[in-house]
Amino acid sequence: MVWQQLLLALETRLQQAEVRADRQALDALLADDFLEFGVSGGRWNKAQVLDSLVQQDFIERSISEFEVQRLAADLAQVIYLCHNAAAGGRAASSAWRSSLWRRHDGRWQMLFHQGTLRPGA
């Protein structure tokens, strides 16, 4: 159960303002072959995320319904509901999120992430 708590902590860490603004912290959390499909329909690799996240306005987020499935000794999938607070004229929203985390050189790094907007929420 310890690794499930660790993965929740890592997902939560990626939602914190100080981490999102810190290129080195993001670099350590994302695998070199990272890929994301966002709720907007966009597709980003690690370099693109590192360049864009540090420039984005911060939106407070929270996690609920967190689940983890271990796929292999060094690979796990997390699924959760991410709630975005209202900010900058945007209404509050929520999206289902899924991430693949891979343990490499003794540390977990996000390999893949996808968000799917939850309509009406």
Q: What is the pLDDT of residues 38-76, one digit of tens each?
A: 888 899 999 999 998 777 777 889 999 999 999 999 999
Q: What are the residue ranges of helices labelled H in the chain?
A: 2-14, 17-20, 23-29, 46-53
CATH number 3.40.50.800 given to 2-117: no
Give the end-to-end CA distance of the chain in Å, rounded to a whole number: 30
The predicted model scores a pTM of: 0.90
Task: Identify the residue with better confidence: 119 or 50.
Answer: 50
Per-residue pLDDT band for 1 (boundaries 50, 70, 90) equals low
Contacting residues for 77 by C-beta, under 8 A, at least 6 apart: 68, 69, 71, 98, 99, 100, 101
